């Protein structure tokens, strides 16, 4: 099977470890570095290099890091050394080209470089702390005795019923006192046994594997007995049945020593960071909880909610519309005191005319202040508007003659203008 080199141009550990290290002296052919990095880097001697690219030496450590990287990504496969060296050469060419184009000064790349720098500095500080404050064998032995091979080296086999409230737990204890079966009650009521239907069984465990209130309660119970009072933990309320116990044979110290070391290292780091935090002056500048949107539009208690003026106006207009079969309303004031102007020589329309019949045979025109006696003509009877305002015309019925359905309009004869000279 022919091996294919995994694409390695994605930045890896070797990219940072030794690809950007300038030579300490010019190369043998007199070339000088084409690009210099603004970031201080370790100086690589020619004896410690595997290649030189435009005056930049590639360190042997970069090749070793790349071999480890490829072994992890390639699931243990190995690749020819010449292909790995060529990969490092190509990376160095890309680095030099990016620096020549000053891509490291672009805002996007500068932010990423700063983030990578901060991450490396954080890791370096932690590694330096653990190097200067290592976990001793005495610390490991103390942890082993308290958590693994202590004096109370006993394993327990137990079952439990877990519920949300204390009242539920007390009720189930009362059911057990009446002869109820623990497994049946667990399958029916326990939060972690309803689906598994395993009767609440927990199997064998050491005391240190459970939270302290639970392990303490198990240790105090006799074999075959259940807790008479609910045991409260952060998970809820437990009724515990201790089924059996046996002496635990702990593994030897040397077998678990390396497993305990990371646990103690994390404790040391946590204590160190907490001490630094207490001595530091820190001010949080943003709210720790997102603010809820203000309800400005909600009415105050006892206050009527505000209505949209536009909707109210449209509603009032709609209310003024006449219903089916109903005559439209007329503003008396507008019809009597503010008549619409009538063009000279034209008869006003019946609905809008402002001519008032004050006396029989006398017509007053709004176009002039003078009145003129006119001989009354024989016309069809016409309703005279009273001073109280115009009356709407009576709707015509089936018995109304055709000639009486509409009133004849009395034309107003224009007055002769005086010829002023």
pLDDT > 50? residue 58: yes
Other Cβ atoms closer than 10 A to 63: 20
Q: CA 229, CA 379: separation in Å to the nearest integer?
A: 111
pLDDT > 70? residue 304: no
Pick the CATH number of 152-247 from 3.40.30.10, 3.60.20.10, 3.10.50.40, 3.30.479.30: 3.10.50.40
- pTM comes to 0.43
Q: Residues 7-14: what's their mean pLDDT?
A: 42
Identify which has the larger pLDDT, 327 or 146: 146
User: What DSSP string runs through 355-411?
Assistant: -EEEETTEEE-TT-S-EEE-PPP-----PPPBTTBPPPPPPP-TTS-GGGSSPPP-P
**Distances from the Cα of 298 to the Cαs of 101, 261, 292, 310, 411, in angstroms?**
58, 60, 14, 19, 63
Q: Residues 211-236: what's their mean pLDDT?
A: 94
Query: Domain segments of the chain: what residues?
Result: 13-101, 152-247
Q: CA 28, CA 39: separation in Å to the nearest integer?
A: 25
Q: Output DSSP code: residue 78.
A: -
- Nearest CA-CA partner of 63 in 45, 83, 33, 37: 83
Q: Sorting pLDDT into bands at 50, 70 and 90, what band is 295?
A: low
Q: Where are the alpha helices (DSSP H) in 282-379?
A: 309-320, 332-337
Look-up of token digits 């530091």: 280
| φ and ψ at residue 288, rounded to 5 degrees | -80, -20
Q: Residues 217-221: what's their mean pLDDT?
A: 94
pLDDT digits (tens, 9 = 90+) for 19-46: 444 444 444 333 334 444 444 556 788 8
pLDDT > 70? residue 98: yes
Q: CA 223, CA 206: separation in Å to the nearest integer?
A: 16
Tokens read off for 224: 């075959």
């Amino acid at each position: 099977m022919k091996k294919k080199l995994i694409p390695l141009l994605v930045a890896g550990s070797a990219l940072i470890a030794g690809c950007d290290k300038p030579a300490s002296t010019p190369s043998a052919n007199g070339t000088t570095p084409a690009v210099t990095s603004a970031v201080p880097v370790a100086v690589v001697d020619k004896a410690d290099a595997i290649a030189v690219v435009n005056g930049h030496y590639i360190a042997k450590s970069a090749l070793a890091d790349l071999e480890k990287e490829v072994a992890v990504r390639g699931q243990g496969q190995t690749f020819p050394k010449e292909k790995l060296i060529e990969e490092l050469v190509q990376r160095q060419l890309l680095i030099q080209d990016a620096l020549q184009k000053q891509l490291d000064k672009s805002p996007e790349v500068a932010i990423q470089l700063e983030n990578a720098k901060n991450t490396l500095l954080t890791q370096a500080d932690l590694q330096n702390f653990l190097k200067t404050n290592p976990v001793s064998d005495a610390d490991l032995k103390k942890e082993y005795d308290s958590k693994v091979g202590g004096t109370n080296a006993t394993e327990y086999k137990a079952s439990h019923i877990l519920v949300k409230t204390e009242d539920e737990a007390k009720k189930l204890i009362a059911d057990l006192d009446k002869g109820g079966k623990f497994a049946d009650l667990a399958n029916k009521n326990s939060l972690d046994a309803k689906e598994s239907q395993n009767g609440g069984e927990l199997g064998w465990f050491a005391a240190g594997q459970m939270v302290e209130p639970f392990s303490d309660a198990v240790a105090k119970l006799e074999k075959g007995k259940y807790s008479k009072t609910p045991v409260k933990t952060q998970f809820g309320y437990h009724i515990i049945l201790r089924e059996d116990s046996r002496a635990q044979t702990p593994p030897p110290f040397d077998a678990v020593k390396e497993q305990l070391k990371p646990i103690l290292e994390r404790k040391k780091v946590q204590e160190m960071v907490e001490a630094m935090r207490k001595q530091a002056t820190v001010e949080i500048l943003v709210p720790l909880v997102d603010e809820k949107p203000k309800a400005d539009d909600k009415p105050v208690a006892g206050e009527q909610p505000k209505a949209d003026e536009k909707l109210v106006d449209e509603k009032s207009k709609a209310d003024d519309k006449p219903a089916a079969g109903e005559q439209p309303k007329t503003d008396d004031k507008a019809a009597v005191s503010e008549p619409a102007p009538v063009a000279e020589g034209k008869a006003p329309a019946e609905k809008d005319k402002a001519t008032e019949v004050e006396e029989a045979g006398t017509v007053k025109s709004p176009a002039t202040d003078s009145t003129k006696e006119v001989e009354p003509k024989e016309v069809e009877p016409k309703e005279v508007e009273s001073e109280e305002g115009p009356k709407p015309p009576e709707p015509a019925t089936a018995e109304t003659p055709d000639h009486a359905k509409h009133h004849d309009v009395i034309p107003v004869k224009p007055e002769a203008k005086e010829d002023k000279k």
